[in-house]
Structure 1
Amino acid sequence: MRKIISLLLIAVMAVSSLGMAVYASSFADLEDSQWDWAREAIEAMTEQGVVAGYSATEFGPADGVTTLQAMLFMSRIIGFYEPENEEVLAKADELYGDFLAPYGLNNQSEIALLMYYDIFSEKELKTYLSSSEINKVLKRHEAAIFLTKTAGGEKDLQDNVLSFEDADTIPEPSKKYVAYVVDKGYMVGVSDTAFDANGDVNRAQMATMMNRVIDDLNITYVTGDIESVSSTSVSVTVNGIVKPYKIKEDAEIRFNGSENAASKIAKGDSVVLKLFNGSVRYVDVFGLEVDSVTEGYVTSKKGGNPNKVTVITADSANGTTYTLADNCKIYYNKKTVKFDELLIGDNVSISFANGEIAKIEIGQRTDKVTSVEYAGVVYEPEMGIITETSSGVQRTYLLDNKVTVRKNSKNAELKDLLIGDNLSLTLTNNKVTAITATSTKSSTSGTIEEIVISSTPTITVNNGKSSSSFALNNATEITVDGETGDIYDLRLGYMVDVSLESDTVTKITTKVVQSTNTLLGTVDVVNSTYGFMYVYATDATGAGTPERIQVFTKKNNGTKIIDNKNDSNSRELKKILSGETVLMTGVKQADGTFEASTIIILAD
Structure 2
Amino acid sequence: MKLRHKLLSLSAALLMATTQAGAIIYSDLQGYGWASNYIYDVTNKQIIAGYPDKTFKPGNSVTRIESLVMMANLFPKADIDKIYAEKEPVYRESMIKNDIDKWARPYVIFALEKGIIPNTPEMIRALVDVKTKKPIIAMRYEVSVFLVRTLGLLNELNNSAKLDYKDTKDILTQAVPFIELLQRKGVLSKKGDGKGYFNPNKGITRAETAVMISNAYKYSPKAKGTSTVSPTTPTAPQVNTQVVEGTIQLITLADSNITISAKDSKGNTNNYTVNKNNLVVNLDGAQVNINNLKVGQTAKFTLTNGVLSKVDMTSVQERFSGKLLTLDSANKTMTLELADNKQIKAFLYNDTSKLYLNDKEVKPESLPLNNPIEVYAINNVIVKAAETQTIGNAQGEVLDFIDNLITVQTADGKKSYKINSNTKIIRNGRTLTNIYQIAIGDKANIKYNNDTAEEVSIETSREKYYGVVIKSIELNTGYNKILVGDRDGNEHSFTINSDSSIRINDKKSSVYDLKLGYEVDLYTDGGLVEELISKGEFKQATISGEIIFIDTIDKYIDITTSKGEKLRINYNNDTKTEKLSNSTSMDPRNLFKGDKISVIGVMNGGNLQATMIIADIK
TM-score by length of 1: 0.34
Compute the TM-score of the two structures, normalised by the length of structure 2.
0.33
